[in-house]
Amino acid sequence: MHNEDSNVILPDEVIMNKIYLIRGYKVIPDTDLADLYQVETKRLKSK
């Protein structure tokens, strides 16, 4: 299901500020990722 807001473009700085380097890996915490996609965190979990 797509909505009209699915094509929103974010500035690079917004995304880059959510990326952390942890033990040599670039990661985005699930709460930040859910916020970027405007979904609940539980929707990011695979089954």
pLDDT, tens digit (0-9, with 9 covering 90-100), for 8-37: 788 999 999 999 999 999 999 999 999 998
The domain of 18 spans 9-41
pLDDT at 16: 95
16 in a structural domain = yes
Structure tokens at 13: 């700085």
If you search the block for the tokens 């299901």, which residue do you land on? 1
Structure tokens at 42: 């539980």
Residues 41 and 32: their CA atoms lie apart, in Å, by 9
The domain tally of the chain equals 1
Mean pLDDT of 35-45: 90
The closest of 35, 11, 30 to 20, measured between CA atoms, is: 30
- List the Cα angle 40/45/47 in 5-degree steps: 130
The beta strand positions in the chain, using DSSP E, are: 20-22, 25-27
